[in-house]
Every structure is written in structure tokens, then in C-alpha cells.
Chain A
Amino acid sequence: MSAETTSLSAKADPAHRGARLLRYSSTRLLNGLLVALGAYTISYIILYFLPSDPVEIMLQGGGDGLYVTPEQVEAARRQYGLDGSPLAQYLTGLLRIASGSLGDSIQFSAPVAELISRALPPALALAVLAGIGAALLGAGIALLAHLTRNPALRVLLEALPPLGASVPVFWVGLLLLQAFSFGFRIFPPMGNDSLASLVLPALALSVPSAASIAQVLSRNLAEALTQPYCKYARMKGCTHAQVVLRYAFKNALPPVVGMLGVIIGGLLTGAVVTETVFTREGLGRLTERAVTFQDIPLVQGIVLFCAVVFIVVTLVADLLVLLLDPRTRRTLGGVAS
């Protein structure tokens, strides 16, 4: 930690600065590895230590009450590495993951990694489109709220983000289905293939993320507009729109980029509900099935995957903030907290 907080002198030459940046990134990467290890530990504690017996759940599956012989239980215990002491089980699992295997799903009897990678492309398409939609929607609402001179419109626009944060995603999805699939019959109510089938789920999924983007951006814009440089720009003769777009927006943006990790996390988990509403295949649907069938290795694999995505995206976002905001470069520890 102390290495990161040393201030980077303004006079430092580019090569020196590059070395600092490299050291900062590698420290963060190491940190990320620790967090990933922690995520594995937490998932292990929750999934394997809570009162239920994982092997029993696995063999009973969806509760179909099959009779299981003690020999079968023993065989399953050995197969999933659950036959030693808790510590031995924990270490076996860790070694297996370190060697690149997430284990086998019980419900689908296939490797977890393969199931995730097969569910990934449609999930990615949905998340990317929803992410773009959220960015446009969120930034649009926040900017318009500060650009308009009409107080009524401004109040209305400022009321939208809290509203967006208060609606359940599945409900938005169902309303959209009602209006555009069964009412006007513009978009198909379900399916995986066409681009048209992607529009409504992406829109539903983007609502909460758009709300949080708009909330943070709006707060930052309001703060930036009171700063001396905005007053100075106004005195120079810039119009209100110029001040907002050229000066305030530029300074209000970095913190929004910094929350990229949280936004991606929200999109990944929001997909669980969205894909169920629109009967799409994807990572969310896989998660829903894994939880319904109490498929512990699959749930753990998905959790680890999402945690790693979160860690990587947060690191990239922090580096982006360094790139966007010269002020944070002066103290490289500034974005670490």
C-alpha cells in the first residue's frame, strides 16, 4: 500500500512515470489475485459449510426423492473431492482451479468451464447492448437535466434516476413485453436469434444501470458547475451549453468510468432475471438453472467467473481513470481506495 501512495512528482520523466504505472498495475493485479482467492474462499464457505450436505443435495437433485445407496454417496463424495477433512477439501478444490479446471456440473454432466463458455456469447451480446444503452440513457438524462433552462423539465428529468433505481428489472421486462410484443407486436416476445429479439431485454436490463450512471453523473455535474473553472468559462463568454459540455462534463466523467466494475456486475446479475423473463439462453439462464437444481460446482464456477470479471473490469476502469484524469496521476494511490 505504501508504495502506491508515494506521490508522483510533477517533474518525473515519462519513462519514470511508466515504471510507476507498471508497478501500480502489477500491485493491483496481485491484489486482484488475492481478492479472487478470497472470493473462492467465501463461495466455499457458503456452499459447503452451511447446514446442508452438498452431496445429499447433489444426489437428490431437484428433490425427486430417488433412493441412494451409501456406496453411491461415497462414490459421489470421492468424485467431487468431498471425502477428506474440510481443509483438505478446500485445498483440493483450490488446486483443481489453479490447474485450470472448474470441475463438472452435476445437472448437465459436463465441465463447468465448457457450460459457461457456451452461455457466454449470447450473454455478452445482451450485456454489451444493455451497457451501451445504459451509458447513452444515463448520460443523456444527466446532461439534459443540466442543459435545460426549463425548471419543470429539469425536475422531471431529475426524478427519473430515483424512479429507475426503484423498479424491479423483471417488471420492466414484462411491461415492455406487454407493450411491444403483445400490444403493438413490434418485437418478438422471446428467442435468441435475431437482433430484434435482443432489443427489449437489453432495454429492460439497462434501466437500473442507466439510473445509477445518471445519478452519479448528475451529482458530479452539479458539483463541477460550482467550481471556479466553470465560473471563469462563463465569464469568458461561454454559453451555458458550452460550460456544461466542455468543462463540467469532462470533469464529471472519470468517477462514472470508475464505477464500470459495479455496472458490469449489475448487468451480469440482472441477466439472471432478464433472460428468464424473455426466455433467452445465456449466463443468467444457466445461473437460474444451477441454483434451481442446487448444482453446487456450477454455481461456484459462475460466481468465480463473475468475481474475476469484476476484478479485471475494475482494474481496467481505474487505469482508464488515470488516463482520463491527470489529477489522479499525481498521486497514484488516489484511485486505489
Chain B
Amino acid sequence: MTGESIANRPLAGSADDSLGTLRIRLTTLARLALPLLAGLVVLTAFLWAVFPEVFAPRSPTQALASARLQPPGTAFLFGTDNIGRDLFSRVVHGAGVSIAGASLAVLIGLVAGCMIGVPSGYIGGRLDEVVMRVIDTLLSIPSLLLALMVVTALGPGTENAAVAVGIAAIATFARLSRTQVLLCRSETYIEAARLAGSSSLYTLARHVLPNIAPTLLGVAVLEFGLALLALAGLSFLGYGAAAPTPEWGSLVAEGRNYIAFAWWLTTLPGLVVVTLVLSLNYLSSLLVRR
């Protein structure tokens, strides 16, 4: 995207050819390297989530009394916490809870959102009008507040927080899938399918859904990152995982008490979240061409 907009700009008198080819080579390299890097980050995070024992050098819960509040170094990659637990191992083990939570949230948002948005856009008319009114109303409540409301009703906990974030994302997916179906419905190939005699349910399954799936997937990747952020926020506030379980948001919250002299306890778990969310945002922008 960046390369295109630079290329579109009229460059007055760029006679320097060698610089030009160098720039082209660099942009091709960047075009390949960045997606690879982002993919690698996401892959690593998922491997941490599935096989934490393989990647974590130590136990996430066992405390070493002799090594309290050690700064990052060769012995402890991310340092240790106030009772001597290895922070890197806790971050690796925390991936499972955070990623499972975000996956559940996106799944709820995607499935429920499409179940509302797809029929609304496909059938249209009165139904569409009513559904869109409800969606507009849902969007008038900020999503974190909606999630907090669900947490109030269900109580704190990892699953409840994930359900809350998922419910808050339903409106976004409903609106998106409805718009996509509307755009797709007016295409010539849909008309052709109808003229060829395919039933409306068959057209929906065979022609509409496959065409809107890539965009939905791209946005789902973006929402996955947003869900990770929202879940980290909820567990930072204390509505997520209970005390001994490592989770990314609560790791930052635990480190908060030692912020004056142990910078690594808050900085490094947060940095892991940022790296993963940034990679997801980038991959999503590649999948969704606007």
C-alpha cells in the first residue's frame, strides 16, 4: 500500500537510476520480508499456546527463592518476578489462556454476527431495516462497556471475559457481513446463477458465501488482535484469569506493584502482546484489500 502511494506521486526529475533500482529492490524485499516476519510471529505465538513445555525453559509456577526480581539476562531471558518465577516461562504458558480466549471471542462474534448479518442483507426489506436498527443500537454502546456489562452479569473468569468480548464484537461482524452480502448480491454472476435456475439458498451457499469469506476472514484476523487487547485489558482490571494462572494481561497487572524498580515485569509481557497484535493487524491489512 505504501509502495503504491509513493509510486503514484509524480517525482520531479528523478534521474538517479541506481538509487531508483535500489529502492525498488528494497521495496520488493520489504514486501516479502514483512509478511514472513508477521507470519512467523503469529506462528510462534500459536506454538507457545499449544506446546508451552517445549518453549518454556522453566516451570511457570515454581518459584526460585534465590532468584527474586532478577533483571533479564542469559540465565532468565525476561528476568524473574517478586517470588522468583521465570517471567519468560510465564509469558509462554500465558499464551494458551490469552489465545484460547481471543479465539473463543472471535468465534462467538463471527458466527453470531454472520447469523444476523447474512440473512439480513440477503433477504433485505423490512427484516433488514429492523436488524440494522438493532445493530446501530448495539454500536451506540462502546464495546468495552458492553463487555464490562456482560462481566457484571456473568462474573469474572477467563471464559466469561472471552464470552463478553465475543458478545461485544457481534455487532461489528453483523454489519460487515450484511454489507458484504449486499455488495455481492448485485453482482452479475449472482444474477446469472439466479437466471440459470439455482434456488436462493443454493446461490447463497455456492456463490455468495465463498465470495464474502476472504473479507470476513481478513477482518476476523484483525478482530482477533483487538480481542487479545480487550482481554488483556479485562484481565488487567482483574476480570480475567484467577491468580496463579499466567495470562498476558494479568502478568502486566502483577508487575505493576514493582514498577519503580523492576521495569521488565510490565514492559516485556506487554511487548509480546504488542508484537503479536501488530503482526495480526498487518496480516489482516494484506488479506483485506480496500
- Residues on A facing B (Cβ under 8 Å): 34-36, 38-39, 41-43, 46-47, 50-52, 57, 151, 154-155, 158, 162-163, 165-171, 174-175, 177-178, 182, 222, 225-226, 265-266, 268-270, 272-273, 276-277, 287-288, 290-292, 294-296, 299-300, 302-303, 306-307, 310-311, 314
- Residues on B facing A (Cβ under 8 Å): 2, 5-6, 8-9, 23, 133-134, 136-138, 140-146, 148-155, 167, 225, 229, 232-233, 236-239, 249, 252-253, 255-256, 259-260, 263, 266-267, 270, 273-274, 277-278, 281-282, 285
A57 to B253, CA, bound (A): 26
Residues on the B chain within 8 Å of A292, using CB: 238
Question: Across the interface, do B153 and A174 meet the contact criterion of CB distance under 8 Å?
Answer: no
Q: Which of A38, A50, A225, A272 contacts B137 (CB 8 A)?
A: A38
Find the B residue at minimum CB distance from A159. B2
Q: Which of B149, B236, B255 contacts A47 (CB 8 A)?
A: B149
Residues on the A chain within 8 Å of B225, using CB: 166
17 further A-B pairs in the complex, CB-CB below 8 A; given A43-B149, A310-B140: A38-B137, A42-B141, A47-B153, A151-B23, A154-B6, A166-B229, A168-B229, A168-B252, A170-B233, A171-B274, A175-B270, A182-B259, A226-B8, A272-B237, A291-B237, A299-B149, A311-B140
A279 to chain B, nearest CB (A): 11
Q: List the 4 shortest-distance A-B pairs measured between CB atoms, nearest first.
A: A38-B137, A171-B270, A50-B153, A265-B142
Question: Across the interface, do A302 and B154 meet the contact criterion of CB distance under 8 Å?
Answer: no
List, sorted by A's number, 9 A–B pairs whose CB atoms are closer than 8 Å: A41-B137, A46-B150, A158-B2, A162-B278, A166-B278, A178-B259, A178-B266, A222-B5, A272-B148
Question: Across the interface, do B150 and A50 meet the contact criterion of CB distance under 8 Å?
Answer: yes
Question: Across the interface, do B259 and A34 meet the contact criterion of CB distance under 8 Å?
Answer: no
A63 to chain B, nearest CB (A): 9
B160 to chain A, nearest CB (A): 10
Residues on the A chain within 8 Å of B266, using CB: 171, 174-175, 178
Find the A residue at minimum CB distance from B134. A38
Residues on the B chain within 8 Å of A51, using CB: 154
> Which of A51, A268, A291 gathers most chain B CB within 10 Å?
A291
